[in-house]
Amino acid sequence: MSGLKLVSTGAAIPAEVVTNEDLTRRVDTSDEWIVSRTGIRSRRWCGEGESHTSLCLAAARQAMEQAGIGPEEIGVCLVATFTGDRMTPGAATILQGKLGLREDTVCFDLNAACAGFIYAVHTASRLLPVNGRRYGLVLGAEVLTRVTDFDDRSTCVLFGDGAGAAVVEWGEDYPDPCTVMGCQARDEVLCVPGIHTGEENVIRMDGQAVFRFAVEALPRCVEEVLAKAGVGPEAVDRFVFHQANQRIIDLAVRKLKLPVEKCAGNIDHTGNTSAASIPLLLDELVSAGQLKQGQRALCVGFGAGLTWAGALLELR
């Protein structure tokens, strides 16, 4: 059986910290409302001199340095995102040039919203054996402030910017990530219209409908990955859930009866960074020694589409 391992991680977040208190000067809200409904205390927003590209580059370089591999060893470079600096060429293409990846590296972006990083890891696991080089560079990156309606207090308090990266390695004797993926076409629930629609190009969300979807999709996805892997939750060292809302995570953890100490998150200081959320959290866990060599993380993302995806990733 062939599969994939996580080799290293990297992260980049903007310098500017925006606290809930800061937001009270822009919209009618309060720290108490935001913390009690979402668990978010602060988030990072891109400022001058920062961009999607600069975040991607910093995160990718860090992951490659941690892995100790050079650009010539990368066979696939995928960026999960919907907020890149250009509509085309994509962020992965920009990385090819800036990182000096070989021209036969498979580089493209994919958009599966907040589930995008898992979609990208899965895609890398299928492309690497075809490409012939063992290493893939996979990123989740968003500058959500580009599509934030700063007058809509029910959404603007939720989102942040950032980029997370991982070097993955394909191996003939490596474990199958046991990926599960799916979607329901429900753009009335969560949507960023795009620049050509005549609508304002900002996040439109029915928060309660997303909430109802997420508290069902997240535990279901965990169960499906475990069933595919043929293991129980005790075989998992860390549960890495998309950091959309602490209440969604708490409900899923309770429903699945997971040990809370295995479900640590970072939403309090990142907010919801969409596709960047899972790799940013993976990087925090790896950096803090909370996800170690040989350990397994069950990752689940869910978001606009509506999409969902889960995978079991082992750290090499």
Active site residues: 114, 242, 272
150 DSSP assignment: T
- Considering only residues 245-304, where is the footprint of ligand COA by CB under 6 A? 245, 272, 303
Q: Does 154 bind ligand COA (CB under 6 A)?
A: yes
Burial 162-190 (b: 16+ CB within 10 A, else e): bbbbbbbbbeeebbebbbbbbeeeeeebb
Residue pair 7/135 in contact by the 8 Å Cβ criterion:
yes
Q: Select the span of 31-39, 45-53, 125-133, 255-263 touching ligand COA (CB under 6 A).
A: 31-39
Structure tokens at 316: 């090499």
Q: Which is nearer to ligand COA, 142 or 169 (CB)?
A: 142
Q: Does 108 bind ligand COA (CB under 6 A)?
A: no
Q: Select the span of 34-42, 125-133, 192-200, 258-266 touching ligand COA (CB under 6 A).
A: 34-42
Q: Compute the distance between CA of residue 263 and CA of residue 82 in angstroms, rounded to an integer.
A: 27
Burial 128-146 (b: 16+ CB within 10 A, else e): beebebbbbbbbbbbbbbb
Alpha carbon separation from 249 to 125, 167, 191, 245, 311 (Å, rounded): 27, 26, 22, 7, 17
Contact residue for ligand COA among 2, 36, 197, 208 (CB under 6 A)? 208
Tell me the one-letter amino acid at 136: G
- Side-chain-side CA neighbours of 263 within 13 Å: the count stands at 23
- Side-chain-side CA neighbours of 290 within 13 Å: the count stands at 14
Contact residue for ligand COA among 17, 19, 33, 256 (CB under 6 A)? 33
146 DSSP assignment: G
Contact residue for ligand COA among 98, 146, 153, 316 (CB under 6 A)? 153
Q: Does 114 bind ligand COA (CB under 6 A)?
A: yes
Is omega for the bond preceding 99 within 30 degrees of 0, making it cis? Answer: no
Residue nearest to ligand COA (CB): 207
Q: Does 184 bind ligand COA (CB under 6 A)?
A: no
Q: Which is nearer to ligand COA, 157 or 299 (CB)?
A: 157
Q: Select the span of 126-134, 149-157, 262-270, 289-297 touching ligand COA (CB under 6 A).
A: 149-157
Q: Compute the distance between CA of residue 56 and CA of residue 143 in angstroms, rounded to an integer.
A: 11
Q: Which is nearer to ligand COA, 62 or 243 (CB)?
A: 243
Q: Does 148 bind ligand COA (CB under 6 A)?
A: no
Q: Does 202 bind ligand COA (CB under 6 A)?
A: no
Q: Which is nearer to ligand COA, 2 or 208 (CB)?
A: 208
Q: Which is nearer to ligand COA, 170 or 302 (CB)?
A: 302
Nearest to 218 by CA among 122, 303, 297: 303
Contact residue for ligand COA among 64, 77, 244, 309 (CB under 6 A)? 244
Q: Select the span of 72-80, 169-177, 202-210, 290-298 touching ligand COA (CB under 6 A).
A: 202-210
Residues near ligand COA (CB under 6 A): 29, 33-34, 37-38, 114, 153-154, 157, 205, 207-208, 210-211, 244-245, 272, 303
